[in-house]
Amino acid sequence: MSSVDAAAEAPRRPFTGRRVRFGDLVLQLVAGAAALATTVLVGLIIWKVIDGARLSLSKYGLGFVTRIAWNPVPGHELYGAASFLFGTAVTSFSALLLATPLAIGIALFLTELAPRPLQAPVTALVETLAAIPSVVIGLWGILVLGPALRDHVEPTLHSVLGFIPLFGPKGAGPSVFTAIVVLTIMILPIVASISRELFLGVPHELKEGALALGTTRWEMVRGVMFPYARGGIAAALILGFGRAIGEAIAVTQVIGGGVFIHWNLFGTGDTLGAKIAASYQGASTNLQASSLIYLGLILLVFSLIVNLAAQWVVRRSARKHGIVRGGRA
Amino acid sequence: MSSAGFELGGNHLTRRRRVNLGMEMLAWLAATIALAVLGIMVYAVAGRGSSELNLDLITKQPIPFSLTNAPQGLSNAFAGTIVLVAFATAMALPVGILVAVYLNEFAPPSIRNGVTLILDILNGVPAIVIGIFVYGLLVLGNGQSGFAGSFALACLMLPLVARATMEVLVLVPNSLREAALGLGIARWRTTLSIVLPQTIGGILTGTVLAVARVAGETAPLLFTSSLVGNKPSWNPAHALQSIPVAIFELSESPDPKDHARAWAAAFVLLLFILFASLGARWLALRSRRKLTAR
């Protein structure tokens, strides 16, 4: 493509002696090599993870995904991902369910309701929440939040809503519920700050037009801002969901572990990322190591799907509104 | 806009006002909850961390299974994090800037869109997957090392730095490029000594944010640089301890003394990240003002 570039540039600089300058070529090659390296890196990640999972892939195939098992005892080895998939789905969806209304409420507060002097500092604080490392949230989760939820929130929920199997008797401490709350805290600022930018992008004419027609502020939000920002918010939620399924450290600190499927949120559980992180001190056999990487492969496939879906949604809504936005976590 | 579903008749005015008020209160509540969570968390870390915060934390090394009350610290973790993050930055910063320069200054639109998508995908790969990728690439057969750990961190930094650089490169006015080319300056000189210097503020902002992000990352280091000694080491050929991995290990310990050190380390990490974010925000404001003042 360098020849195309040079051809396009040629008439713009008629005073150059040489047709292609050596320095231009070098910079373009070096910078192009960096871009190529980035592309190769992503390919290498996919290949290396598949390569590492190969032993488990060839032994179990797709049956791995539907089996509930994690037995590393030599001679009785059997591995499956179903319980971790279940845990990932339950924690991520619940966190998304809790975070969505909160995040949209925060974004509306920041763009529509907050008194002007509050806007900038509160925005900064919400973004600070996103900068807290997951291991610190996890530390707080295991030592402060977990015990507090177990002693105060879980018994209350159980006594009021105990007829729903989700709110069973409280467990020893670590619980799926704590993991959900931790994940909610982690994805909340991401969704909130993207939604805030989307709401800021709603044209003033539309908002003022609605208000001039006599709508209340909420009716304006519902009738003008939500439809306008719908695509972007969907993308933000998808990205938040991607963050939730990929989080390993904070979840492994608070969720407790266990290879089973049950509906009691107050019991322990495990997720794909948490299982991998918890096994960092080494696998006893090659098959176990390979199965752990298989879990990582599932996670990688999910993250690819989630990112491409978010991109697709962003591009579709950008085309509709004629605006171009980058989809960033 | 039939989905809007509000009628503009005056009959329901009180009800509509009440709904509006309720929704506004819910939005206030949501913002209050977020700030309260942040406040509670920072208060917990600061409250528990500050009492354990002393020079021993930085200068003394940890003594696992110690039965005495000899002062312990996490000197190995502090040294390791500095080395790991420094090497990661040294790898990711030049490559990230070059990628951004290529995409913004040279690449045709199709390649630009493609590689931007690749950067977004890389940004979305879970940190733990980056960890097992580097485990398979560098650790298997060679053992853990600081290099492997910093390479994993660099994989996380790369898309952040590239994205941040692209965002400021776009802000550099085209008239500047055209003026330079019009004066007969070669394109590479234009890019390196006229366009890039305009973006230093933005690149610095992006780098500070990326450093703050990876300094707190645990997942990529678990499989690449976590089986470590207690002596502080500056040699990246060996596995290096890091602050987040130390917090992770101490948080799972049953010993309250270990928890105390975890809180103190978390407090230091949090302070660093808060100051880095504030500094980045200030830098961003300053450089943006400079770029758009023209």
Best mean pLDDT range from A33-42, A74-83, A161-170: A33-42
The CA distances from residue A87 to A81, A163, B98, B154, in Å, are 10, 22, 41, 30
State pLDDT tens for residues B143-196: 899 999 999 999 999 999 999 999 999 999 999 999 998 998 988 999 999 999
Could you list the beta-strand ranges (E) of A13-88. 70-71, 78-79
- The full 3-state SS of A100-115, as one line of letters, equals HHHHHHHHHHHHHHCC
Which among A244, A238, A241 has a CA at the least distance from the CA of A137?
A: A244
- The whole-number average pLDDT for the span A298-303 is 96
Q: Provide the pLDDT confidence category of residue A3 given band limits of 50, 70 and 90.
A: very low
- Using a CB-CB cut-off of 8 Å, the residues of chain A touching B116 are 326
Higher local confidence (pLDDT), B264 or B7 = B264
- Rounded CA-CA distance B131/B144 in Å is 11
CB contact under 8 A, B189 and A245: no
State whether A216 and B277 contact (CB < 8 Å).
Answer: no
- The average pLDDT across A65-72 equals 90
- What local confidence, expressed as pLDDT, does residue A2 receive? 45
For chain B, give the percent of residues with pLDDT over 90: 63
Q: Span B10-30, mean pLDDT?
A: 87
Chain B window 45-104: which residues touch A at a Cβ cutoff of 8 Å? 45, 94-95, 98-99, 101-103
pTM equals: 0.89
> What proportion of chain B, given as a percentage, has pLDDT over 70?
94
Query: Is B17 an interface residue toward A (CB < 8 Å)?
Result: yes
Output the pLDDT for position B6: 52
Give the span between the Cα atoms of B224 and A280, in whole angstroms: 9
| pLDDT tens digit sequence for A70-108 | 988 888 889 999 999 999 999 999 999 999 999 999 999
The amino acid occupying position A188 is L
In angstroms, the CA B243 to CA B253 distance is 15
Average of per-residue pLDDT across B58-64: 80
Q: What is the pLDDT of residue B3?
A: 43
Neighbours of A242 (CB within 10 A): 25
Q: Looking at the partner chain, which of A26, A132, A219 has a beta carbon nearest the beta carbon of B188?
A: A26
Q: Which of B133, B242, B273 to mutate to test the interface with A (most CBs of A within 10 A)?
A: B133
Rounded CA-CA distance B42/B40 in Å is 6
Rounded to 10 degrees, the C-alpha dihedral A248/A254/A258/A262 comes to -100
Of B114, B211, B194, give the one whose Cα is nearest residue B160: B211
B31 interfaces chain A, CB cutoff of 8 Å: yes
The residue of chain A with its CA nearest to that of B157 is A38
Residue B10 has pLDDT above 70, yes or no: no
pLDDT, one tens digit per residue, over A173-223 is 789 999 999 999 999 999 999 999 999 999 999 999 999 998 999 999 999
Of A15, A218, A293, the CB nearest to B19: A218
Residue B123 has its nearest CB partner, among A4, A28, A329, at A329
Which residue is closest to A188 within chain B, CA to CA?
Answer: B34
The confidence score (pLDDT) of residue B7 equals: 53
- In this complex, the residue of B20, B38, B129 whose CB is nearest that of residue A299 is B129
- Cβ of B105 under 8 Å from any chain A Cβ? yes
Phi, psi of A179 (to 5 degrees): -60, -40
CB contact (8 A) between residue A31 and residue B106:
yes
- DSSP string for residues in B239-269: ----HHHHHHHHHT-S-HHHHHHHHHHHHHH
A12 pLDDT above the threshold of 60: no
CB contact under 8 A, A300 and B129: yes
Whether residue A4 has pLDDT greater than 50: no
- pLDDT value at residue A327: 38
Which one of A249, A288, A292, A302 makes the best mutation probe of the B interface by having the most chain B beta carbons within 10 Å?
A: A249
Output the six-digit token pair for A29. 């090659």
Confidence at residue A235, expressed as pLDDT on a 0 to 100 scale: 93
Select the residue from A38, A55, A308 to test the B interface by mutation, using most B Cβ atoms within 10 A. Answer: A38
B-chain residues near A136 (CB < 8 A): 41, 45, 216, 247, 266, 269-270
pLDDT in the model for residue A326 = 41
- How far apart are the C-alpha atoms of A92 and A307, rounded to whole Å? 15
Q: In chain A, which residue's Cα lies nearest the Cα of B213?
A: A131
* Tens of pLDDT, residues A120-147: 899 999 988 999 999 999 999 999 999 9
How crowded is the C-beta side of A171, counted as CA atoms within 13 Å? 22
Work out the end-to-end distance of chain B between its first and last CA atoms, rounded to an integer number of angstroms. Answer: 42
pLDDT, mean of residues B219-248? 90
Interchain contact, A102 vs B33, CB within 8 Å: yes
Question: Is any Cβ of chain A less than 8 angstroms from the Cβ of B179?
Answer: no
Q: Is there a contact between B133 and A13 if contact means CB atoms under 8 Å apart? A: no
Q: Band of the pLDDT at B11, cuts 50, 70, 90?
A: low
Determine the distance in angstroms separating the CA of B181 from the nearest CA of chain A, rounded to an integer: 7
Whether residue B294 has pLDDT greater than 70: no
Residue B292 or residue B8, greater confidence = B292
Residues of A with Cβ-Cβ distance to B115 under 8 angstroms: 35, 38-39
Distance from CA of A49 to the nearest CA of B (A): 6
Q: What is the pLDDT of residue A94?
A: 96
Mean pLDDT across chain B, nearest whole number?
A: 89
- Chain A within 8 Å of B170 (Cβ-Cβ)? no
pLDDT at A19: 58
Q: Do A35 and B259 touch (CB under 8 A)?
A: no
Q: Is the pLDDT of residue B4 over 50?
A: no
Q: Is B251 on the interface with A (CB under 8 A)?
A: yes
Return the higher-pLDDT residue of B81 and A314: B81
The reported pLDDT for the residue numbered B8 is 52
Q: Which residues of B touch A247 (CB under 8 A)?
A: 126
Average pLDDT over residues A108-122: 92
Q: Average per-residue pLDDT in chain A?
A: 88
